[in-house]
């Protein structure tokens, strides 16, 4: 399957889990945005976006994440980004100065319990 983007969702107890794999860009960011919006509206206590297998993310992906953060706050729930993040994603958050706007963890396990 290579670097083809994949967004999958699954409920886990009271958590909406979204797993990303591959490059998240202009073509795939709308699917990510939909999944995150559905998670915010689901009534789950938190949404965990597992970014550990995402190899690349551009401004479209960042926009989807920022919008999702606003939706989650408005819904009174938490959005957690789980790593470890690959270098291109670290670079995206660092260069844009947006890392501080998200709750981030270094592993999926810690994101599920933080």
What CATH number is associated with residue 90? Answer: 3.30.750.24
C-alpha to C-alpha distance for 94 and 100, rounded to whole angstroms: 9
Q: Give me the number of domains the chain comprises.
A: 1
Q: Model pTM? A: 0.92
Note whether residue 106 is domain-resident.
yes
pLDDT of residue 97: 97
Q: How confident is the model at residue 4 (pLDDT cuts 50, 70, 90)?
A: low
pLDDT of residue 8 exceeding 90: no
Domain extent, residue 44, equals 6-113
pLDDT of residue 1: 40
Given its phi and psi angles, is residue 91 left (phi above 0), alpha (psi -120 to 50 degrees) or beta?
Answer: alpha
Note whether residue 37 is domain-resident.
yes
Note whether residue 1 is domain-resident.
no
Note whether residue 99 is domain-resident.
yes
- The share of the chain scoring above pLDDT 90, in percent, equals 87
Note whether residue 84 is domain-resident.
yes
């Amino acid at each position: 399957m290579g670097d083809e983007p994949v967004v999958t969702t699954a409920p886990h107890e009271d958590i909406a889990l979204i797993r990303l794999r591959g490059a998240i860009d202009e073509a795939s960011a709308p699917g990510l945005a939909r999944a995150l919006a559905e998670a915010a509206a689901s009534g789950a206590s938190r949404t965990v976006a597992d970014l550990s297998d995402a190899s690349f993310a551009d401004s479209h992906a960042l926009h989807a994440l920022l919008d999702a953060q606003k939706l989650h706050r408005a819904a009174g729930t938490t959005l957690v980004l789980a790593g470890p993040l690959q270098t291109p994603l670290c670079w995206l958050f660092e260069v844009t100065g947006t890392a501080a706007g998200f709750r981030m963890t270094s592993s999926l396990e810690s994101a599920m319990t933080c």
